[in-house]
Amino acid sequence: MNIIKQFYEIDKQVKDLADKISIDFKDLSSDETPIFICVLQGGGMFFHNLIKDLKIDCITEYVRVKSYNGQNAGKVNIISDVQIDLQGKYVYIIDDMIDTGSTMGKLLAHFSEKGVSGIKTVTLVERKEPAFKSDYCCFRNMGTEWFVGYGFDKDGKCRNYKNLYTIPKEK
């Protein structure tokens, strides 16, 4: 394993991103409370560190999605949906990464169908050439290696590592 981002680098970027989101949302709306939706499981650590540094009130929700089998991207399935009505609400979708874009694309369509008033995407990392760019991202253009740590896993393990590492992709 090779460290690609140390925890203090990640922490600084997450705090800076939380500040930017807070400022942008205050400029957008002064009387609405946004809903921040965590994409489980990978987005959990990033989500919790991000929301604690926001300078705005927010409502938190969770959606559980499965899109990988080992290191291979597959069909996107929503395992567990949000439990609140999103009609007319401003929503932020927080995930660990945009890779092929299929998960975020599915969630954007899914939440748009629920009648949200606005929607933004927030990710910790993006691949070198993602299908689309997230509205907010800590680390763009991160290559094609497989990541573990800081929420990223290999077969359910390594999510708890505080640094972000790369490991060889399986063939």
List pLDDT tens digits, range 64-82. Answer: 998 755 555 567 889 999 9
Residues in the chain: 171
Q: Where are the domains of the chain?
A: 11-26+33-144
Pairwise CA distance, residues 68 & 24, whole Å: 33
- pLDDT-derived band at 139 (thresholds 50, 70, 90) equals very high
The pLDDT of residue 69: 56
- pLDDT-derived band at 3 (thresholds 50, 70, 90) equals very high
Q: Can you give 119-136 as a three-state secondary structure string?
A: EEEEEEEECCCCCCCCCE
- Name which CATH class applies to 11-26+33-144: alpha beta
Q: pLDDT per residue over 11-58, tens digit each?
A: 999 999 999 999 999 988 768 899 999 999 899 999 999 999 999 999
Helix (H) or strand (E) holding 102: helix 102-112
The pLDDT of residue 110: 95
Distance of CA 51 to CAs 90, 93, 113, 137, 142, Å?
15, 12, 25, 14, 23
